[in-house]
Amino acid sequence: MKLNAPTKLAFLIAVIVFVLGILFQFVPFLAGLVTFPLGVILLIVAFVILALGNILKNF
C-alpha cells in the first residue's frame, strides 16, 4: 500500500480537533459541560482524519 502525505487542510483540521479533544479531556470546566466523553471522541476523530489523509489521495 502506498501512503500519501495528508493535505495541509486535513492536517490543520486534525490539529484543531486534537487540541479541542485535549481541552475537553483535561480542563474540568469543559469536561463538565457534556455528560459523555467528548474529549476521547474528538481525539479519535483527529486520528481518523490523519489516517484517512495518509491512505486516501488528495484528502
pLDDT digits (tens, 9 = 90+) for 2-51: 899 999 999 999 999 999 999 999 998 888 888 889 999 999 999 999 99
15-21: long-range pairs with CB below 8 Å, 24+: 15/46, 17/42, 17/45, 17/46, 17/49, 18/42, 18/43, 18/46, 21/45, 21/46
What is the predicted pLDDT for the residue at 12? Answer: 97
Domain ranges of the chain: 8-55
What is the predicted pLDDT for the residue at 49? Answer: 97
What is the predicted pLDDT for the residue at 31? Answer: 81
Which comes out higher in pLDDT, residue 23 or 58? Answer: 23
What is the predicted pLDDT for the residue at 54? Answer: 94
What is the predicted pLDDT for the residue at 36? Answer: 87
**Burial class of residue 26 (count of CB atoms within 10 Å of its CB; 0-12, 13-18, 19+):** exposed
**Burial class of residue 17 (count of CB atoms within 10 Å of its CB; 0-12, 13-18, 19+):** buried
